[in-house]
Amino acid sequence: MVSANQVRIVLILLIPLSLIVSKASADDFGPPHDVAAVRRDIMSMLGDSPAHLVWNTLIDNAPVPQRSPSGNQLRISDVVIVGDWAVASYAFHTSNAIQTGFLGLHKIDHQWWLLSRAVRGADYVSYMFTNAPPLAGAPGSAQIGYGPDVPTLERYGFPHNLAVISRDHNAQVAEAQRACEGSPKGRARNCDVETVEYEWYEVHHLISRTGSGIIPDPGAMGGYDVRLQFAPSDAQPGTEVSDFSGRSPAHADDPGASYFFTLRIQSAHPVNFAGGSALEIWFPHLLDSKTSYVLNLQTDKGGMFDALPGVLQGNILSFALPEFTAQAGEEFRDTVRLARP
């Protein structure tokens, strides 16, 4: 069992290296209009910021995505759509390689949501998944990783028809399926799960006087990527952020709400932050560039900010916080909302 500041990653060997160079026969599948919409939405969400496909880029010193010589940084292939579900493969250049992976999407209220991001490991034969509800393994433990063969996709919650059709039209699903079925011992050799513990610091993170950056696990944030950079403060040693979590709106919530998250600042004394703390939120669905968004921030010890304007770029909402004081043990309840006229 992992500790409170750890999340569990499950890695599985999927394909022999000899299969990597020979791409399986695959192509797009589904209504052309929907396929075009999925491709367009993925590029709009990630084309300018493919690092969000590899959420540990800044944590593990992973290769930083670079723009290719042709200027086309992110490439999407093998889009498969069945009903309101879709999968796709991606590739983009890093500083020293081409990173590939697998995506899963679900249409919710006429909008495609990116619910599953899987990056192929440096060994080229393992995948690490980050899933968001309603797929399995989330929230909080979204780094449960398997390869995208048919049984694994079904285990995560993808529909059976989508998984089976993807085997014939998505090269990565086909490779994973062929490797698992082709082993003399069946799934035992290539597809059994190997569990490793992975250190993550999103549950407790120290705040320094000079400023601290926090990048919580997307699984705990409901599939959103959140980055919080604190401005300099008078924080005492041992001051930390805890209970950092987030979720998408539910039908019972305010229809103008776009995202909810909470965090708590643990300190024996009040902490005074200078102006300039920055909050960035990458959304797993396409935001409307013609819509304005605001941040409302309340605490369990009294109100703080109301209607702080956000700046949208590359499907990332950014907010600049003025100076503020956090009381000892204060919980912050934040809501991103559509701006009202």
pLDDT band at 9 (very low <50, low <70, confident <90, very high): very low
SS3 state of residue 237:
coil
Q: Which amino acid is at 149?
A: D
The pLDDT of 270-296, averaged and rounded, is: 90
CA–CA dist 236, 209 (Å, integer)? 8
Q: Which residues contact 93 (CB under 8 A, 6 or more apart)?
A: 65, 66, 67, 68, 73, 99
pLDDT band at 273 (very low <50, low <70, confident <90, very high): very high
Helix (H) or strand (E) holding 174: helix 171-182
Copy the structure tokens of residue 112: 């495609």
CA–CA dist 68, 33 (Å, integer)? 28
Per DSSP, what are the bridge partners of residue 199? 6
pLDDT at 137: 53
Report the DSSP pairing between strands 330-338 and 293-299: antiparallel
Q: Is the dihedral of CA 146, 20, 225, 27 positive or negative?
A: negative
Report the DSSP pairing between strands 98-108 and 111-120: antiparallel
Question: Strand ranges (DSSP E) for 109-224?
Answer: 111-120, 127-131, 194-199, 204-206, 213-214
**What would the CATH number be for the domain defined by 204-338?**
2.60.120
Copy the structure tokens of residue 85: 């579900």
Q: What is the pLDDT of residues 117-151, one digit of tens each?
A: 887 766 555 666 777 777 765 433 333 445 688 88
pLDDT at 24: 35
Domain boundaries, the chain: 6-198, 204-338
Per DSSP, what are the bridge partners of residue 94? 65
pLDDT at 196: 37
